[in-house]
Amino acid sequence: MSEDLGKKNVKLARKLVLVAAAMFGFGYALVPIYDVLCEWKWIERDRPDAIKQVPIAAYKVDLAREITIEFMTTLNESTAMEFHAEKKQLKVHPGEYHTVNFYAKNLTDKVMVARAIASFSPALTSRYFEKIECFCFSEQTFKAKEAKTMPMRFVINPELPKDYETITLSYTFFDNTEIQ
């Protein structure tokens, strides 16, 4: 009986070592998995305005290249708003300054404080997408049923690697009224 118990203990110990090794391997693999996921969908975190706002720099316009900028808008599930970009996409030359207007409307009968968070795809392009003016720099206050046209002025830094021909900029609006 004790010999049978010993075999069971050895078998259990092997299983536990395998589980521990698998956990270590999974933890080790999380770094490259995280890198892949961040490349797929990177969220621009709230940063101080001094970092977000880029000073206007004179770039040499690269007329030989054309970049397609796609604008996507979404709402957090609890945000009762209408929200969209004036244009779905825009073709630009790196170094040119452009302004795109976004439209938002509070659909409630109450004052709403909302915040737009940007994300870029591919993620690396966020380094080269320089916003000069953006409604996303601060929270927006909407009166009941109020609609706003909100500009976003930007330039694509001409140092953007040549293999990037399309940038998708996505904004998600969140209702922050209760957080106030």
End-to-end CA distance of the chain: 68
Q: So where are the chain's domains? A: 1-40, 46-179
Dihedral angle, C-alpha 91, 93, 95, 100, nearest 10 °: -10
| pLDDT over 90 percentage in the chain | 55
CA 160 to CA 121: how far, in whole Å? 14
pTM exceeds cut of 0.75? no
Distances (CA, A) of 127 to 106, 157, 167: 32, 8, 12
Asked if the model's pLDDT at residue 30 lies above 90, the reply is no
Q: Which CATH architecture has domain 46-179?
A: Sandwich (2.60)
Place of tokens 């966020």: 126
**Checking DSSP bridges between strand 81-85 and strand 97-106, what pairing results, if any?**
antiparallel
Question: pLDDT confidence of 29, banded at 50, 70, 90?
Answer: confident
Q: How far is C-alpha 111 from the chain's CA centre?
A: 26
- The answer to whether the Cα torsion of 154, 172, 67, 149 is positive or negative is negative
Q: What is the pLDDT of residue 48?
A: 42
